[in-house]
Amino acid sequence: MLSRKQVYGLGITRWEIRGQVGSGRWQLIGDQSVCLHNGPIGDEGHRWAAVFQGGPSACLDGASALIAAGLTRFEVSRHRVSVPRGARVRRTRLYDIRQTRRLRPEDRAASGIPRTRAPVAAVRAALWAVTDKQATYVLTLTVQQGLARAEEIGIELLRVRRDRRRLLLHEVVNDLIDGARSLGELDVVKELRRRGLPPPERQSLRRDRRGRYYLDLYWPAHRLVVEIDGIHHAWVENVVDDALRQNALALDGDTILRLPLLGLRLNADEFFDQIAEALGAPTRRAA
């Protein structure tokens, strides 16, 4: 995939391009890219074509930039390209090319295909997501897959002054940093009270053959344990310890329910319904 400017730089005229396309050897993508074969175009080819279509100051942005940086398990229907305010925009149905005041020189990645840095791209991908759930998901994937640290994303998020999703994203980033773990427990206890459910013991100490550990929330009369999971529970180094601890509790006869902080933000009612069922209490949704 080459831009027209690159092809012209090789000494090939537009008439020769037209001849190659007309004979079926090459194909045009938008009005700024020339594909030097006639087969299917891969995602990387489309990323370059999107940047070429945007012009010399364009770069991939949002989720498209994250995918170019290596993000997996996330797809986009059209690649998003940002150009500075006032730049010429060559519209096409293939790619989403938009002007933005937020694009700064320091936002760009130092190498590779022109794109915004991962922390910047993560914030914008979350702001532009279709739903709150998708916004939370893309931030979580970015941190889990090591493309950016939660602290870096938080710094970039502070630049956002006005957006309907800004407060939600601050909460999610705090969860990812894991600085809000104790706050998460307070939130859960407050929700239990609002729903008329009995209060639990917090940070109850237990021992097993491997040592001692603390339970986040525990109802001794019901043998019910609720573990509040921040993002750190999904990291590889914690998976084995969490599994062993949960198995030990189950062998002792306890019921263990897990409440991810992301679940508290996005699907609280269903998780609290499960807690109410385990306590034998009627389900009562919070107002």
Residue extents of the structural domains in the chain: 42-177, 181-278
Q: How much is the pLDDT for 251? A: 75
Tell me the range of 151-165, 168-182, 264-278 where mean pLDDT is highest. 151-165
Q: Which helix (H) or strand (E) holds 3?
A: strand 2-3
Average confidence (pLDDT) over 196-222: 78
Cα 32 versus chain centre, distance: 31
Rounded-to-integer distance, Cα 134 and Cα 261, Å: 15
CATH dotted code for 181-278: 3.40.960
Q: If pLDDT is split at 50, 70 and 90, which confidence band does 253 have? A: confident
Q: Is 201 left (phi over 0), alpha (psi -120 to 50) or beta?
A: beta
Residue 215 neighbours by CB under 8 Å, 6+ apart: 201, 203, 204, 205, 206, 225, 227, 249
Rounded-to-integer distance, Cα 278 and Cα 69, Å: 44
Residue 119 to residues 57, 131, 169, 183, Cα–Cα distance (Å): 20, 20, 13, 24
Tell me the range of 119-128, 149-158, 225-234 where mean pLDDT is highest. 119-128
Higher pLDDT, 252 or 154: 154
Q: How much is the pLDDT for 124? A: 97
Higher pLDDT, 177 or 254: 254
Q: How much is the pLDDT for 231? A: 53
Higher pLDDT, 215 or 28: 28
